[in-house]
């Protein structure tokens, strides 16, 4: 498991979101990043790069769904708190 890497990845993702949404001061971990349009398709690629850097390998997106990236909580569950995400 890579739980130790999530705080840095989460901070980087939050910084990306806040940089692109200056009206915000924080991001709720359960906030739907996609439905609320806090990230767009280009920022999604940046989020994916942050995750890959944190876990140390490429993510096989063909094995995932949009729900795996829907919120900070979902990202933590998918990539940082279980063996399935850690090997994705």
Rounded to the nearest angstrom, the gap between the alpha carbon of residue 39 and the centroid of all alpha carbons in its chain is 10
Q: Which residue range(s) make up the domain with 68?
A: 3-86
Of 86 and 54, the one with more pLDDT:
54
Is residue 71's pLDDT more than 80?
yes
pLDDT in tens, 9-66: 999 999 999 999 999 999 999 999 999 999 999 999 999 999 999 999 999 999 999 9
The structural domain count of the chain equals 1
Assign residue 80 the CATH number of its domain: 1.10.1200.10
Mean pLDDT value across residues 65-74 = 96
Give the residue from 38, 52, 47, 60 showing the smallest Cα distance to 13: 47
What is the pLDDT at residue 4? 53
pTM of the predicted protein model: 0.84
């Amino acid at each position: 498991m890579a739980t130790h890497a999530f705080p840095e990845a989460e901070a980087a993702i939050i910084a990306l979101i806040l940089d692109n949404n200056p009206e915000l001061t924080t991001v709720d971990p359960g906030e739907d990043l996609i439905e609320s349009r806090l990230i767009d398709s280009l920022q999604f690629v940046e989020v994916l790069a942050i995750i890959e850097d944190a876990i140390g390998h490429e993510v096989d997106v063909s094995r995932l769904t949009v729900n795996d990236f829907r919120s900070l909580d979902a990202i933590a569950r998918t990539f940082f708190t279980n063996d399935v995400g850690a090997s994705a």
